[in-house]
Structures are given as C-alpha cells and as structure tokens.
Amino acid sequence: MTATEYQIPMDVYERIINDFTYHPPNNSQIERYAVLRESAKQLALLIAKCSKQSREQSLALTKLEEAIMWANAAIARNE
C-alpha cells in the first residue's frame, strides 16, 4: 500500500519553507520583541492580581503567552 501524494502549491511550499526556517533577529526586531514581552508581562501580572488562581487564570496566562509567541513569529517570519 502506498500513500497518496499531492502536488504542493507554490504558495504553500514557500510558506512552509519560511515558517520552518530560523530567522535571526535584527536590531529593530529585538527592541519590538522586548516591548511585546514587557507589555505581556504587565498584563499577566494584572491577570494574576485580579483573578483567583484557577484553571481559567492558567488558561488566560497560557493564551497570553501564545499570543506573544505568534506576535513574535509575525515579526520574524514576515520581515
């Protein structure tokens, strides 16, 4: 039994290559990463301060961490 293989459209191929390639930061990106991290840290502290420790709080913090990861990826992958 052989697996079915599909033709990869060029735009999908290019996105995969870009997404799985290391993108070393340049100077302006480093500063923006730091601003995003600091802003997220302040929001994380506010979430922790305003809500009881719980599954929901943990999810909020995880989603915030995920949002910053994707924001960083948006910078790294698209410049």
Q: Give the SS3 label for residue 19.
A: helix
Question: CA 70 to CA 76: how far, in whole Å?
Answer: 10
Per-residue pLDDT of the chain (79 residues; tens, 9 = 90+): 578 999 999 999 999 999 999 999 998 999 999 999 999 999 999 999 999 999 999 999 999 999 999 999 999 999 9
How far lies 4's CA from each of 14, 17, 20, 50, 59, in Å?
A: 21, 22, 23, 52, 38
Q: Domain ranges for the chain, please list them.
A: 26-77
Question: CA 44 to CA 41: how far, in whole Å?
Answer: 5
pLDDT at 50: 98
pLDDT at 1: 57
pLDDT at 17: 96
Residues whose CB falls within 8 Å of the CB of residue 23, separated by 6 or more in sequence, listed in order = 76, 77
